[in-house]
């Protein structure tokens, strides 16, 4: 599986990024993958390679590039619960500084770069995100309704920008929520907003999960839920993206 370390030009500098894609010399649909707050690291590279193996060019940008190359905080090989509070405390100012305006400006650059790669086809793209990356994915899809045909978010604050953002989404959508992130009542409210916005979606709570369940290098990891994530994500992309 070919991989590349890249630098994406943006108005505020160059964002380091990781890409994985099939080794067949063909052009493939593009997928913009937003990491969780811990950023690009071996676990995320493995997820990108896994998705690329299904026939996609996967680009994972370091959205905290303004603070330096990934990882922007020191990470151990395994992120245990005892280390999480201190790491989150370090990252929270970066998250708060990453405004909606910054997200959209960066998304413009990321998508322009992604679709210009010689291994990427000319059709629509998908955006997927994890944790805070899920909010960035929603904002990207809302800002680029003609270009983003599929949107998938896992354990992310998808409704943080309110119903107006959902109304701008034209992509097919899957939201996979952690039990600890969303109550059944809140899920009902979110899904009602998606219905009102006319979004083509599935949105569900993954049983027995806590926030971060897809991340294999953390204590919150849930192997069954990660498989469920792939079982939703890959078919969504397969039925939505066309390789032109």
240 three-state secondary structure: helix
Q: Is the pLDDT of residue 177 over 70?
A: yes
What is the domain extent for residue 44? 3-240
> Which of 149, 151, 154 shows the shortest CA–CA distance to 132?
154
Q: Which residue has the tokens 């380091």?
A: 16
What digits encode the pLDDT tens for the residues 30-77? 999 999 999 999 999 999 999 999 999 999 999 999 999 999 999 999
Query: Which of 21, 14, 241 minimizes the C-alpha distance to 117?
Result: 21
Give the pLDDT confidence score for residue 156 in this predicted structure.
97
Residue 92: pLDDT band (50, 70, 90) is: very high
Q: Where does the pLDDT of residue 243 fall: very low under 50, low under 70, confident under 90, or very high at 90 and above? A: low
Question: Which one, of 163, 57, 36, lies nearest residue 110 by Cα?
Answer: 57
Task: Quick: pLDDT tens for 126-165.
Answer: 999 999 999 999 999 999 999 999 999 999 999 999 998 9
The pLDDT value recorded for residue 61 is 98
Number of compact structural domains in the chain: 1
Q: What is the CATH number of the domain that holds 100?
A: 3.40.50.1820
Question: What mean pLDDT comes out for the span 207-212?
Answer: 97
């Amino acid at each position: 599986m070919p991989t590349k370390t890249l630098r994406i030009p943006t108005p505020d500098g160059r964002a380091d990024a990781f890409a994985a894609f099939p080794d067949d010399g063909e052009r493939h649909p593009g997928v913009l993958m937003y990491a969780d707050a811990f950023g690009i690291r071996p676990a995320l590279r493995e997820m990108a390679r896994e998705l690329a193996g299904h026939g996609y060019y996967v680009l994972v940008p370091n959205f905290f590039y303004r603070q330096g190359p990934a990882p922007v905080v020191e990470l151990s090989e395994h992120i245990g619960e005892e280390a999480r509070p201190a790491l989150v405390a370090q990252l929270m100012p970066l998250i708060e500084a990453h405004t909606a305006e910054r997200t959209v400006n960066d998304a413009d650059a990321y998508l322009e770069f992604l679709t210009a790669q010689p291994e990427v086809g000319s059709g629509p793209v998908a955006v997927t995100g994890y944790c805070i990356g899920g909010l960035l994915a929603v904002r990207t899809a809302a800002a680029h309704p003609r270009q983003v045909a599929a949107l998938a978010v896992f354990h992310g604050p998808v409704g943080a920008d309110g119903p107006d953002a959902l109304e701008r989404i034209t992509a097919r959508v899957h939201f996979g929520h952690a039990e600890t992130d969303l109550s059944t009542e809140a899920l009902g409210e979110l899904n009602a907003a998606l219905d009102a916005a006319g979004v083509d979606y599935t949105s569900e709570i993954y049983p027995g999960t806590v926030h971060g369940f897809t991340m294999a290098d953390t204590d919150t990891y849930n192997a069954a839920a990660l498989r469920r994530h792939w079982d939703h994500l890959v078919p969504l992309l397969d039925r939505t993206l066309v390789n032109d």
